[in-house]
Each structure stands twice: as C-alpha cells, then as structure tokens.
Amino acid sequence: MIFPKRILAGGLVIVVLAIAVFFIFFRGKEEVRAEKGGEESSRPTLKAEEAGLPVKVTRVERGELVMKLKSPGEAYTEKKIVVKAEVSGTIKNLGVKEGKQVRAGELLVEIDDLEYRLKLERADALRLRYLSELLLEKQFAEPDKAPDPQAEQRIKRAEEEFSRASSLFSQGLISRAEFEKARKNYELVMIETGRMKEEVMASAKGLTQAEIDVKIAQMELDKTQIRAPFSGIVTDIKVSPGETISVGRELFTLVDISEIKVQAKVLESEVGKLKVGHEAGLKFSAYPGKTFKGKVEAISPVINPEDKTCTVHILVENPSREIKPGMHAEVEIAADIYQDRVIVPQAAILVRGGRKLVFVVEGELAKWRYIDVGLENEDFAEVLDGVKEGELVITEGHFTLAHDARVRVAQE
C-alpha cells in the first residue's frame, strides 16, 4: 500500500514533536530535583559555617609559675608500734581483728587479773597494818616541844635553797647531781629539826615501803588491760584467746595511716631551691591519673656521700587510707616560684614552622598569634610577648584551625 507523500510528511512531524515534548518534560523535572537537592545539601554547610567550629578556651592570667623538681619516693608512717605484754598471764579476751580500726584508749586485750588483784589486796592490808601501828605510837608519844628560833631559820634557809635548786634543774641550768645534793641537804635539816618526824617514823615502821608496794601492785593490775595508745589499724596479730603469755611477748602491730610521710631524694645541687612548707604532688602506681597533695615537712641537714642526695620528708593527709606504707611514689616538689608572670596553659601552644603560637578568640574569629615564651613547666608557660592578660586562648579544637576561622566557644 502506497501512502501519499503529504500524509507521510505530516506523520513524521508529529513523531518529532512528541519526542521533543518528552525530553523537555523529563529534563525539567530532573533540573527541579537537582536544584532542590542542591539547596538541601548546601543548607547544613551554610549552618556549620555560620555557627563556627567548636573550641574550648581559657583566659590568659597573671600569676605564679612554679618550677618543680622530680624524685622517686617511698611512703612510710611514724605512728607504728608493736604492742607487747608488760605482765605475764593468760589472755582472757582478745578484742582485735586483722585490719580493725580502733580508737585511742580502746580496750584491746584483757589478761586474767585474779593473781594481780590478790597481790594488791595483800600489799594494801600490810599498808593498813603499818598505818595502824604508827597512829597508836603517835597517840602515846610525848608532846612536841616549842619551835626553836634558830631551827626555824635553818628550815627557812634550807627550803629557799631547795626551791631555787628545783627551779634551776627544771630549766636545765644545773645537773641532776647538784639537784640531788640540794634535796639531801634539805631533808637532813628537816630531820634534824624534827619537821620530818612523822615521815621518819613511817619509814621506820615500814609504812613507806608498804605504800610503794601498793602502788606497784596497782600498776601491775592496770597492765592486765591493754588499751590502744593512739587511734589506728590493727595488723599482724600473733596471739590467740586463752594463750598463756610472758612479759615482752609481741601481741600485734598498731599503725596509724591517717597521715602518711613520703621520703624523697633530691640532688645536692638542687637542695637550695627547697624550703619547708613548699607544696608537692605525689603519684602512686596504684592510683593512675590521681595526684595527691602534700607539703615539705623537713629537709635533712646531711648529704649522702655515696649518691650526693639529700633526703626530703613530705607530709600527706590520708583520710581515706588509700596510701599504704611502702608504696612507691613519683614526687614533684615545688622549687623555684616566680611571681607575677603572664602565663598560658601548655595545651594552648602550637608549633608551626619552628615557631610557637596560640589562637586568640576575637569575637567569633580565631586569630593566629606568634608568642615569645620565657620560663616553662609541664603545665604552663610564661608569655613575654604576643598575648595580654585577660584574652581568651584556645586549648582544644585548634590543631587544624586557620587564621580568621569562625569558631564557637564550647566552654571557657
């Protein structure tokens, strides 16, 4: 079948128009989608740029810069004793356990006291017997004679000399031998003049010795009860209830670690930088990341001739009992202290091109500043030029910053 040319040409035009409409319609949709997608994808970027990069800052301050000395050290305590029995006998009650915290004066051990009570009663009965005999003899004795004026003068002079000797001895100005000589002279005058008649009679009757025996018996009875001499922790118990012990037997160890001391060694060349009262930081391997604070309590006056070091004693409060005697410590002691310096944290300082710099926040922008650094320690550096007191320097989030980058302060 043969179509006329006019019909064929018209059909061809219709097909071309259809294809053109199809491409225009779908291409327009894709452009609209692309435009919408581009807008959506660009919005977060614009917001991020407007908000700025988050950074942390600190304020430049004027204060003291402390240079520290480092030294190994070892913890110890001065309040550590081995409690021993002062009388023999059988342990009636053992009121301690390993690791128990006890208070000063608390009863810890009781020794059977029956034997010691009987000794005290016997000594007291003998004392009463001598006292009764003395009172009877005084009752029937001749009346005292009138005082002799010369004897009164001797007594007064002897009392003054003895009082003076007692005062000088208490001040350490005379020896014990000189004090004893003055005391004997005083007693001799008192006996010769009859002023110590009752004391002499009591001694002759045995009353004085009996009173001493009572005191000794009471003291031994008191020692059957063993009390804590100070507050602390009981450890290393070596006896059991019901055990018979002798004088001098070790019972247990009492240690107080509420205050700990650390012994450190400082080189001879650096001793002159230290002073009593200087602060010290201590780190123990048992507590990583934690620093304990202490103070220099004493500096040894002697240099060890072998290693040319000086021993420094540091006092550390230890209320939670974390630090144990014998622990190894890394010690940092404040040595030279420089006052009134402009300082910034070491975390704020970067090195670029061999020069030190910091980023200072001005408004919402980070400004690149080269600085001249003076003295430094591990935590801070003295700034001689480049920043001023009161300015904000970036300490976190500044490693990839550029000059005039927009930033947002997360924390000051």
pLDDT at res. 337: 85
Say how far apart CA 63 and CA 43 lie, in whole Å: 46
Q: Is the dihedral of CA 335, 340, 341, 345 positive or negative?
A: positive
Query: Integer distance in angstroms from the first to the last C-alpha of the chain?
Result: 91
pLDDT at residue 228 above 90?
Answer: yes
- Interval 60-116: pLDDT, tens: 999 989 888 999 999 999 999 999 999 999 999 999 999 999 999 999 999 999 999
What local confidence, expressed as pLDDT, does residue 88 receive? 96
Provide the Cα torsion 177, 183, 185, 186; round to 10°. Answer: 170
User: Whose CA is closest to 377, among 59, 70, 56, 60?
Assistant: 70
Render pLDDT for 271-296 as a digit per residue (tens, 0 to 9): 888 899 999 999 999 999 899 999 99
pLDDT at 44: 40
Examine the pLDDT at 124 and tell me if it is beyond 60: yes
Mean pLDDT, residues 372-380 taken together: 90
Cβ neighbour number for residue 302 with a 10 Å cutoff: 7
φ and ψ at 294, to 5 degrees?
-145, 180
Phi-psi region of 325 (alpha: psi -120 to 50; beta: other; left: phi over 0): beta
Residue-level pLDDT at 313: 96
The predicted-structure confidence for 345-361, as pLDDT tens digits, reads as follows 999 999 988 999 999 99
* Per-residue model confidence (pLDDT) at position 45: 41
Q: What pLDDT, on the 0 to 100 scale, is given for residue 335?
A: 86
Question: What is the 3 state secondary structure string of 262-293?
Answer: EEEEEEHHHHHHCCCCCEEEEEECCCCCCCEE
Q: What is the pLDDT of residue 196?
A: 55
Least confident of 91-100, 128-137, 259-268, 320-329: 128-137
In the structure, what pLDDT confidence band is assigned to residue 204 with cuts at 50, 70 and 90? low
At 239, is the pLDDT very low, low, confident or very high (cuts 50, 70, 90)? Answer: very high
- What are the residue ranges spanned by the domains of the chain? 53-65+340-411, 68-78+257-338, 86-111+227-248, 112-226
Rounded CA-CA distance 199/242 in Å is 46
**Residue closest to 308 by CA, chosen among 270, 251, 358, 260:** 270
Question: Residue 208 pLDDT more than 80?
Answer: no
Question: Dihedral sign, CA of 202, 204, 207, 209?
Answer: positive
- Indicate the class that CATH gives domain 86-111+227-248: mainly beta
pLDDT at 56: 92
Please report where in the chains the tokens 């894709």 appear, as a residue. Answer: 30
Q: What is the pLDDT of residue 176?
A: 86
What pLDDT, on a 0 to 100 scale, did the predictor assign at position 42? Answer: 37
Task: Kindly state the percentage of the chain with pLDDT values over 90.
Answer: 54
Question: Which residue(s) pair with 111 in the sheet?
Answer: 91
Q: What is the pLDDT of residues 190-200, one digit of tens each?
A: 766 666 555 55
Name the average pLDDT for the chain: 83
pTM comes to 0.61
Q: Does position 306 have pLDDT exceeding 80, yes or no?
A: yes
Confirm whether 53-65+340-411 and 86-111+227-248 share one CATH topology: no
Average pLDDT over residues 25-52: 45
Which structure tokens are listed for 216? 């000794």
Determine the pLDDT at residue 95: 93
Q: Per-residue pLDDT tens for 315-344?
A: 999 999 999 999 999 999 988 888 999 999
> What's the pLDDT score for residue 127?
81
Residue 43 predicted with pLDDT over 50: no
pLDDT digits (tens, 9 = 90+) for 149-180: 777 788 788 888 889 998 998 898 999 888 88
Dump strand ranges (E) for 285-324. 292-303, 309-317
| Residue range 214-227, pLDDT digits in tens | 999 999 999 999 99
So what's the architecture of 53-65+340-411 in CATH?
Beta Barrel (2.40)
- Specify the CATH architecture of the domain 68-78+257-338: Beta Barrel (2.40)
Ramachandran assignment for 105, one of left (phi > 0), alpha (psi -120 to 50 degrees), beta (any other): left
